[in-house]
Structure 1
Amino acid sequence: MASKVIHAIYNDDDLLLQAVKQVREARYHIGEIYTPFPVHGLDKVMGLAPTRLAITSFLYGLVGLTVAVLMMNFIMIEDWPQDIGGKPSFSFLQNMPAFIPIMFELTVFFAAHLMVITFYLRSRLWPFKAAENPDPRTTDDKFLMEVDVANHNVDDLSKFLYNTGALEIKLIEN
Structure 2
Amino acid sequence: MASKAIHAYYDDDDVLMLAVKKVKAAKHHIEEVYCPFPVHGLDKAMGLAPTRIAITSFLYGCVGLTVATLMMNYIMIEDWPQDIGGKPSFSYLENMPAFVPIMFELTVFFAAHLMVITFYLRSRLWPFKDAENPDPRTTDDHFLMEIDIHDNEKELRDLLLDTGAVEINIVEKNSH
TM-score (norm 2): 0.93
1:171 maps to a residue whose letter is I
Counterpart for residue 152 of structure 2: 153
Indicate yes or no: 2:56 matched with 1:56.
yes
1:19 maps to a residue whose letter is A
For residues 16 and 86 of structure 2, the distance between their equivalents in structure 1, rounded to whole angstroms, comes to 67
For residues 87 and 60 of structure 1, the distance between their equivalents in structure 2, rounded to whole angstroms, comes to 31
1:63 maps to a residue whose letter is V
Q: Which residues in structure 2 correspond to 1:1-174 (within 5 Å)? A: 1-149=1-149, 151-174=150-173
**Coordinate RMSD, CA, aligned:** 1.2
Give per-residue Cα distances to partners, 1:23-72, cap 9 Å, x unaligned: 11111111110111111111110111122222211111110000000111
Q: CA deviation at 1:74?
A: 1.0
Q: CA deviation at 1:94?
A: 0.5
Give per-residue Cα distances to partners, 1:122-168, cap 9 Å, x unaligned: 1111111111111111112111000111x232122112211111111
Structure 2 spans left out of the alignment, 5+ residues: none
For residues 147 and 156 of structure 1, the distance between their equivalents in structure 2, rounded to whole angstroms, comes to 12
* Matched residues, number: 173
Q: CA deviation at 1:3?
A: 2.0
> What percentage of residue pairs aligned between the two structures are identical?
76
2:130 maps to a residue whose letter is A
Return 81-90 or 11-20, whichever deviates more. Answer: 81-90
- Which SS does the other structure have where 2:2 is aligned? coil
2:16 maps to a residue whose letter is L
- Which SS does the other structure have where 1:145 is aligned? strand
For residues 36 and 104 of structure 1, the distance between their equivalents in structure 2, rounded to whole angstroms, comes to 35
Structure 1 spans left out of the alignment, 5+ residues: none
Distance 1:12 1:85, change over 3 A: closer
TM-score (norm 1): 0.94
Query: 4+ residue runs of structure 1 moved beyond 4 angstroms?
Result: none
